[in-house]
């Protein structure tokens, strides 16, 4: 296992050299106030067999989890996804029938493994039925996965239990401690690709515990596993598309004594790189709300202050547009025919510019219990004021949505949870800009693959403490009293359908009888002849 631990301090956070002490065997961190990203890379022989049996059927697999609680982001960790569990994967492409069968069996077991690792109640039968196929508008964006899945997942307790039981040896207290730390992470990424045959797990913590991070990062007892550590901070970059970082770097257990004496702690470093994702000021926020009462046709309102409508610091000549990416469960959906309209009256009334992409379940009539897919994704371009000087105190964008019929309940209501969408500026970079893979690059988020490869993203910050909205949905009430009880309604529906069928058959019989030819009277015909 290889580890990479990165601490990134904010520009106004103090730091002294005695907060990080490097020895030949460990790095001691003392009350370091910073965000933390930790990356662990496992080779295939370090993984349990049931996990490897599924991974070898995948060309690529990317899992993203984000907390329902609000958390802060700093460069270079400024990208976001909606709260919950996101799964993106591409199966192995093989033309032989035998391998197709193996892949089908392996992927069918994939949903069972997802339930075992994350949550037994996930709405997942098999990828062909439960996953959706995202639209790929940029065919050159080769990292975009072929299938996509999402489910709200408040915590990663099941994942921690799985790692403790299947990956960590019972005697390895260090591994168990790292597994338990996942519970407090704000986001977790899991990546696998068939080229490297390695599984990478990344955790991100936006807040340090207590007075700061106090930890002793030790080398592996066998001395074989590499542990890279960086204490970094962002600096002013010379190019708008670059992120510039400086600080101290080192390999725990690898640095020689001469290097330690040279720096006193770690080796100094200063580097910059082009990045797709860039931060915005803390006052560039947005909030989500629904009109009350919601009924069966809720309206999502995205409220933006003037600071969020200010164009981002993109390169000169770049074209920028404000977007939102909705991740909707199967219980709620949009009308793609309504949202894709070009009618200026409708778009202006909702402050929408256009529907750019939609994927997933969009059936307008199906009840929730008959929908096999997990839900749908919607990429909407938002309208902004023509003149920034005339921005109102709050700019509201409204998105009309629809709720599906849910199963009945005793109270007559059911709860539908809707994760907050992500809101971001997308700006075109200069033609000569090379957005290569940087040490902190994050792809396969579900929405960045819908843009060109040189697009730069500026993420707005959610303003609420909880990033999931709970809607109260009216449903059929289950009770044994009153006239409008479920059994009476069911029996009445059957009787009404039966009577309607009999009426239709009776009308058809009358039409058939009236269309039969009548026999002519011969006597009358003879009298007319005479």
Cα–Cα distances (Å) from 421 to 269, 323, 326, 380, 469, in that order, read 37, 10, 5, 11, 11
pTM for the model stands at 0.86
**Spatial contact of 467 and 154, defined as CB atoms under 8 Å apart:** no
Q: Which of 185, 237, 202 is nearest to 11 (CA)?
A: 237
**Average pLDDT in the 100-112 region?**
57
pLDDT at residue 247 tops 60: yes
Cα–Cα distances (Å) from 394 to 285, 312, 320, 386, in that order, read 11, 18, 20, 15
CA angle at 283 for the pair 281 and 285, rounded to the nearest 5°: 105
**Average pLDDT in the 57-66 region?**
90
Greater model confidence, 412 or 397? 397
Query: Average pLDDT over the chain, rounded to whole?
Result: 84
Using DSSP, state whether 370 is helix, strand or coil: helix
* Confidence category of residue 400, pLDDT binned at 50, 70, 90: very high
State whether 351 and 428 are in the same domain: yes
Percent of the chain at pLDDT > 70 equals 85
* Confidence category of residue 320, pLDDT binned at 50, 70, 90: very high
Whether 2 is covered by a domain: the verdict is: yes
Q: What per-residue confidence (pLDDT) applies to 468? A: 97
**Average pLDDT in the 97-116 region?**
62
Percent of the chain at pLDDT > 90 equals 42
Q: What per-residue confidence (pLDDT) applies to 430? A: 64
Beta bridge partners of 267: 249
State whether 415 and 309 are in the same domain: yes
Q: What per-residue confidence (pLDDT) applies to 159? A: 94
Whether 412 is covered by a domain: the verdict is: yes
Beta strands in 372-446 (DSSP E): 375-382, 395-400, 402-403, 413-419, 422-428
Q: What per-residue confidence (pLDDT) applies to 404? A: 93
State whether 262 and 322 are in the same domain: no
Q: What per-residue confidence (pLDDT) applies to 96? A: 47
* Confidence category of residue 477, pLDDT binned at 50, 70, 90: confident
Whether 461 is covered by a domain: the verdict is: yes
* Confidence category of residue 77, pLDDT binned at 50, 70, 90: very high
State whether 367 and 422 are in the same domain: yes
pLDDT at residue 435 tops 80: no
Using a 10 angstrom Cβ sphere, with 0-12 exposed, 13-18 middle and 19 or more buried, the burial of residue 104 is middle
- The position carrying tokens 């080192």 is 250
Q: What per-residue confidence (pLDDT) applies to 39? A: 93
Q: Which of 99-113, 125-139, 455-469 has the highest mean predicted lDDT (pLDDT)?
A: 455-469
* Confidence category of residue 94, pLDDT binned at 50, 70, 90: low
State whether 299 and 414 are in the same domain: yes
- The position carrying tokens 């569990």 is 85
Whether 17 is covered by a domain: the verdict is: yes
Give the chain's domain count: 3
Residue 425 CA to chain centroid, in angstroms?
Answer: 17
- Is residue 444 left, alpha or beta, with left meaning phi > 0 and alpha meaning psi from -120 to 50? left
**Spatial contact of 77 and 204, defined as CB atoms under 8 Å apart:** yes
Side-chain-side CA neighbours of residue 304 (13 Å):
27
State whether 317 and 393 are in the same domain: yes
Beta carbons within 8 Å of 382's beta carbon, 6+ residues apart:
302, 321, 322, 323, 324, 351, 352, 353, 397, 423
**Spatial contact of 447 and 379, defined as CB atoms under 8 Å apart:** yes
Q: What per-residue confidence (pLDDT) applies to 508? A: 86
pLDDT at residue 21 tops 90: no
Cα 74 to Cα 245: distance, rounded to the nearest angstrom: 12
CA angle at 276 for the pair 267 and 395, rounded to the nearest 5°: 125
Greater model confidence, 322 or 453? 322
Q: What per-residue confidence (pLDDT) applies to 102? A: 46
State whether 461 and 496 are in the same domain: no
**Average pLDDT in the 257-266 region?**
47
State whether 213 and 264 are in the same domain: yes
Whether 341 is covered by a domain: the verdict is: yes
- The position carrying tokens 């960086």 is 230
pLDDT at residue 337 tops 80: yes
Beta bridge partners of 28: 21, 216
Beta carbons within 8 Å of 126's beta carbon, 6+ residues apart:
107, 108, 110, 111
* Confidence category of residue 83, pLDDT binned at 50, 70, 90: very high
Q: What per-residue confidence (pLDDT) applies to 513? A: 78
Greater model confidence, 471 or 22? 471
Greater model confidence, 60 or 142? 60
pLDDT at residue 401 tops 90: yes
Domain with 490 in it: 486-513
Q: Which of 35-44, 327-336, 337-346 has the lowest mean pLDDT?
A: 35-44
Q: pLDDT by residue (tens digit) across 176-195?
A: 888 999 999 999 999 998 88
**Spatial contact of 440 and 453, defined as CB atoms under 8 Å apart:** no
pLDDT at residue 197 tops 80: yes
State whether 465 and 436 are in the same domain: yes
Whether 368 is covered by a domain: the verdict is: yes
Whether 54 is covered by a domain: the verdict is: no
Supply the angle between the helices 157-166 and 173-181 in degrees, to the nearest 10: 160
**Average pLDDT in the 169-181 region?**
86
* Confidence category of residue 51, pLDDT binned at 50, 70, 90: confident
Whether 352 is covered by a domain: the verdict is: yes
pLDDT at residue 157 tops 50: yes
Q: pLDDT by residue (tens digit) across 340-396?
A: 999 999 999 999 999 999 999 998 889 998 999 999 999 999 999 987 777 788 999
State whether 409 and 467 are in the same domain: yes
* Confidence category of residue 136, pLDDT binned at 50, 70, 90: low
State whether 262 and 329 are in the same domain: no
State whether 257 and 370 are in the same domain: no
Cα 312 to Cα 314: distance, rounded to the nearest angstrom: 6
- The position carrying tokens 């072929």 is 146
pLDDT at residue 264 tops 80: no
Supply the angle between the helices 97-117 and 157-166 in degrees, to the nearest 10: 110
Q: What per-residue confidence (pLDDT) applies to 433? A: 58
Task: Provide the b/e sequence for 223-237 (b: ≥16 CB within 10 Å).
Answer: eeebbebbbbbbeeb
């Amino acid at each position: 296992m290889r580890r990479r631990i990165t601490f990134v301090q904010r520009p106004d956070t103090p730091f002294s050299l005695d907060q990080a002490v490097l020895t030949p065997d460990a790095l001691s961190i003392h009350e370091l106030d910073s965000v933390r990203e930790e990356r662990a890379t496992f080779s295939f022989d370090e993984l349990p067999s049931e996990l490897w049996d599924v991974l070898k059927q995948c060309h690529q697999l990317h899992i993203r989890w984000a907390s329902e609680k609000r958390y802060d982001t700093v460069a270079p960790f400024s990208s976001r996804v909606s709260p919950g569990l996101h799964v993106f994967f591409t199966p192995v492409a093989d033309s032989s029938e035998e391998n197709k069968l193996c892949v089908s069996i392996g992927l069918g077991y994939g949903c069972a493994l997802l339930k075992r690792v994350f949550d037994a109640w996930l709405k997942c039968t098999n990828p062909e039925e439960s996953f959706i196929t995202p639209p790929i508008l940029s065919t050159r964006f080769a990292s975009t996965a072929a299938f996509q899945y999402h489910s709200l997942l408040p915590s990663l307790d099941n994942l921690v239990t799985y790692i403790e039981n299947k990956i960590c040896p019972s005697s390895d207290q260090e591994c168990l401690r790292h597994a338990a730390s996942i519970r407090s992470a704000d986001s977790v990424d899991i990546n696998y690709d068939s080229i490297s045959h390695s599984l990478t797990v990344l955790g991100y913590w936006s807040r340090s515990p207590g007075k700061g991070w106090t930890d002793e990062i030790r080398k592996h007892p066998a001395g074989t596993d590499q542990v890279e550590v960086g204490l970094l901070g962002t600096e002013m970059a010379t190019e708008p598309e670059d992120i510039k970082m400086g600080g101290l770097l080192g390999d725990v257990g690898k640095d020689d004594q001469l290097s330690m004496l040279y720096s006193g702690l770690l080796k100094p470093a200063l580097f910059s790189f082009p990045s797709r994702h860039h931060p915005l000021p803390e006052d560039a926020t947005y909030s989500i709300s629904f009109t009350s009462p919601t009924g069966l046709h809720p309206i999502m309102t995205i409220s933006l202050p003037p600071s969020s409508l200010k164009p981002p610091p993109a390169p000169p000549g770049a074209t920028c547009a404000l977007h939102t990416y909705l991740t909707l469960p199967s219980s709620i959906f949009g009308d793609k025919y309504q949202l894709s309209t070009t009618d200026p009256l409708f778009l202006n009334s909702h402050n929408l510019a256009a529907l750019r992409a939609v994927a997933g379940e969009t059936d307008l009539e199906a009840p929730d219990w008959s929908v096999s897919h997990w839900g749908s994704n919607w990429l909407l371009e938002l309208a902004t004021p023509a003149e920034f000087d005339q921005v109102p105190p709050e700019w509201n964008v409204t998105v009309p949505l629809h709720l599906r019929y849910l199963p009945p309940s005793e109270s007559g209501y059911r709860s539908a949870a809707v994760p907050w969408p992500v809101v971001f500026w997308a700006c075109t970079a200069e033609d000569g800009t090379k957005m290569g893979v940087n040490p902190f690059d994050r792809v396969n988020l579900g929405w960045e693959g819908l843009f060109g490869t040189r697009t730069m993203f500026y993420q707005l910050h959610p303003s609420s403490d909880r990033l999931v909205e709970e809607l109260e949905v009216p449903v059929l009430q289950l009770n044994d009293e009153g006239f409008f009880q479920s059994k009476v309604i069911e029996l009445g529906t059957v009787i009404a359908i039966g009577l309607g069928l009999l009426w239709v058959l009776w009308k058809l019989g009358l039409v058939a009888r009236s269309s039969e030819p009548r026999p002519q009277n011969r006597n009358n015909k003879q009298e007319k002849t005479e």
